[in-house]
Chain A
């Protein structure tokens, strides 16, 4: 089974802190994604990566950056956390070609106070 693991289930950070969310997948998938999920807004794509050191902006990249130094690991960075970044963050991975589903991690509930 594909496993996507996010480093934390719950995080509480202070405004202005630099925050790192880590995601690791064990199926050698080229594609990795970061979404945030908010009530009424659904899943919104922040960034994605289709290869090591490659990244593309999604629909809401402002205030975020990403790092992909190794194929299995994709990190989301909040440069200076703000209260409007309080959300559920979901990491996913998929194969790069064909019609293939994305596999999700368990999510990180981030609260910025």
Chain B
């Protein structure tokens, strides 16, 4: 069964304290892995797509990496405005098209 697991569930960091979020997955035939940011009461906002093992993508203080079994979202010197829930998703084939399977997310709180 296709599955996505994220850890930790919640993370509190001091401003400037770097850390990593984990996304492990089991999917038959990975086509792509996606990271989203979600602010409270809003829809997820797309951050990155990773296509194959070894790939890395960066955006400001965020860097996403991918291996054959997991992805990491590294946050370098975070700021309070980075506080959000970060969601990981994989694209899996289904009848006629593709669907997205999401993890439950990591709630990040960055303290000033």
Contacts and interface: CB of A to CB of B under 8 A. Distances in A.
Contacts, number: 66
B41 A101 contact: no
- Interface of B, helix, strand, loop or mixed by DSSP: strand
A102 B104 CA distance: 17
Contact of A106 (B42, B51, B87, B89): B42
A41 B102 CA distance: 10
Contacts of B31: 99
Given A99-B32, A101-B49, A104-B44, A43 B99 contact: no
Interface residues of B, number: 27
Given A48-B99, A100-B32, A107-B41, 12 more contacts: A41-B104, A42-B102, A42-B105, A43-B87, A50-B96, A54-B96, A90-B43, A90-B44, A92-B100, A100-B91, A102-B46, A102-B89
Interface of A: 4, 30-31, 33, 35, 40-43, 45, 48, 50, 54, 56, 58, 90, 92, 94, 96, 99-107, 109
25 contacts: A31-B98, A33-B100, A35-B102, A41-B104, A42-B87, A42-B105, A43-B102, A45-B100, A54-B96, A56-B94, A56-B96, A90-B43, A92-B43, A94-B98, A94-B100, A99-B32, A99-B49, A100-B49, A101-B34, A101-B46, A102-B100, A103-B46, A104-B45, A107-B42, A109-B41
